[in-house]
Amino acid sequence: MSAPRSLQDVYLDELKDNWSANDQMARTVQQFSQKASDAKLKQMLEKSVEGINKHTGILKSLIEQAGGKAEPEHCKGMEGLVTEARKHASEEAPQDGQLRDVVIIAQYQRMAHYGLAGFGSAAAYAKALGKSEDEQKLKQAVSEIYKGDEFASQLAESLQQVATK
């Protein structure tokens, strides 16, 4: 990747970075779904993978429509978050299932918040570039990510109450 020379370049870079981040997050969340002990958490994580893949499809189509090369730009930010998430929720995860579930949710939310920032920035760039259809698609993705995050927070609160007993 060379230095961006226009907002259009920044926009395309953001879309490609989000694509890579999504790919990394989807693999990690899939692994977490296999380690989760709570049925609601397992279901949420599986549904999240579907949503992440849907959003990746949107990113790919927006990149192609913008005339960019349809390939991700490796996201080092998500790479770091994934490394931490795997450490805490897999490699050094608590043996107690409920406690592990609480850790999984925290790690999931860290990665999701990165996605919120990336998709939100991309939506702002799309707006500035006059790409209203792109903006709406990206804002819809942000809305869906927020809903998943809100559900994860509610689930974390209920699991934390159980884990402290």
Domain segments of the chain as ranges:
12-163
Rounded Cα gap, residues 106 and 146, in angstroms:
15
pLDDT at position 45 is 98
In order along the chain (165 residues), what is the average pLDDT of each group of 10 residues? 87 97 98 96 97 98 89 95 96 92 97 98 98 98 96 88 63
pLDDT for 162 equals 62
- Report which DSSP code applies to 94: -
Burial class (CB in 10 A: 0-12, 13-18, 19+), 76: exposed
Q: For residue 163, give the nearest of 29, 37, 42 by alpha carbon.
A: 37
Is 0.85 topped by the overall pTM?
yes
Closest listed residue to residue 134, CA positions, set 75, 44, 60: 60
CATH 1.20.1260.10 fits 12-163, yes or no: yes
Distances (CA, A) of 159 to 4, 66, 93, 109, 156: 45, 44, 16, 15, 5
Q: What is the pLDDT of residue 4?
A: 84
pLDDT at residue 165, rounded to an integer? 58
Q: How far does the chain reach from its first CA to its final CA, in angstroms?
A: 51
**Phi first, then psi: what are they for 37, rounded to 5°?**
-100, -25
